[in-house]
Amino acid sequence: MKEETVIKVEGLTKVFGDFIAVNNINFHVRKGEIFGFLGANGAGKTTAMKMLIGISAPSSGSANVAGFDVYTQTESIKKSIGYMSQKFALYDDLTVKENIRFFGGIYGLSKNNISLKSNLLIEELGLEKVVHSLVGSLPLGWKQKIAFSVSLLHDPKIVFLDEPTGGVDPITRRQFWEMIYKAANNGTTIFVTTHYMDEAEYCDRVSIMVDGTIEALDTPKNLKAHFGSDSMNDVFLKLART
């Protein structure tokens, strides 16, 4: 099976003072894949992700995202990716529609395209009633779904999701993952960090970071077989404890 690689990471390292946050990590992510990026708090997931999305320069190693170099072509990377962080990243004091228009606008979408996309998005998420409500007044689950849709507005090749379902109820999480699958089926690569091990099972492949290094990387099925566990939860505990 020959597939296009959209993220290539080789020997990527980030050092803060004498603390090595990310230590020589290597992996490839294929186009259209849902790639789970797991690890305990402080394992270095967010630091690694920040290097990949071009807002933090690596200390050493190389990485290529959507065909662009993370040292020299960060602005080109930013054009080809979407990003949604655990800290909710839409403007609370703007309405749903205003948020969509603003982010569409700064990604350089045309006016027609923005109204087309925002109508589509509103219809898909069933937001007709709250389109003119301030985002701050909506429940968290809704906000996260809208934020994810907004991160897809400019048809990015890759979407980076940093703990997108933190604090969200199980039903909404389910719906959220349905949205992720739909995006992946359309050929968008999904790079997602999470603390929910049931979500790890939904991923095509999973990497587990412990203290700045990647300790395991495979499909959930292979990982479970390899560690002799019947759930990803077990796999994670075995790795993170040692």
Partner 1 sequence: MRVILYIINKEFRQIFRNKGMLPIIFILPLLQLVILSNAATYEINNISFGYVDNDRTHTSRALIDKFRASTFFDVSQVFPHPKESDLAMLQGEVDVVLTIPEHFERDLWKDKNIDLGVTINAIDGAAAGVENVYITQIIKTFNKNLAVDMVQLSNNTVQPVLIEGIPLFWYNKTLNYKTFMVPGILVLLVTMITLFLSGMNIVREKEIGTLEQINVTPIKKHHFIIGKLFPFWVIGMGLLTIGLVLAKLIFAVPMLGSLTLMYFYTSIYILVILGMGLFISNFTDTQQQAMFIAWFFVVIFILMSGLFTPIESMPKWAQFLTELNPIKYFVEIMRMVMLKGSGLTDILPQLLKTTLYAVIMNTMAVWSYKKIS
Token pair 């219809």 is found at: 123
Q: Which is nearer to partner 1, 166 or 201 (CB)?
A: 166
Q: Which is nearer to partner 1, 78 or 205 (CB)?
A: 78
| Six-digit token string for 181 | 């699958």
Q: Which stretch binds partner 1 (CB under 8 A): 36-44, 106-114, 166-174, 219-227?
A: 106-114
Q: Does 101 bind partner 1 (CB under 8 A)?
A: yes
Q: Does 94 bind partner 1 (CB under 8 A)?
A: yes
Facing residues of 65 across strands? 7, 68
Residue 95: DSSP 8-state: B
Find all residues with CB under 8 Å of 160, minimum gap 6, and list them: 49, 52, 53, 81, 82, 83, 84, 191, 192
Q: Does 73 bind partner 1 (CB under 8 A)?
A: no
- Report yes or no: 217 and 206 within 8 Å, Cβ to Cβ: yes
Q: Does 88 bind partner 1 (CB under 8 A)?
A: yes
Facing residues of 12 across strands? 25
Minimum separation from the CB atom of position 56 to partner 1 (A): 6
CA 61 to chain centre: 22
- Report yes or no: 205 and 174 within 8 Å, Cβ to Cβ: no
| Interacting positions 13-52 with partner 1 (CB under 8 A) | 50
Q: Does 148 bind partner 1 (CB under 8 A)?
A: no
Size of the site for partner 1 (CB under 8 A): 30
Q: Which is nearer to partner 1, 78 or 173 (CB)?
A: 78
Q: Does 53 bind partner 1 (CB under 8 A)?
A: yes
Residue 137: DSSP 8-state: G
Nearest in space to 154 (alpha carbons), one of 239, 68, 83: 83
Q: Which stretch binds partner 1 (CB under 8 A): 79-87, 119-127, 181-189, 225-233?
A: 79-87
Question: Interface with partner 1 by CB under 8 A: which residues?
Answer: 50, 53-57, 74-76, 78-79, 81, 83, 85, 87-94, 98, 101-103, 105-108
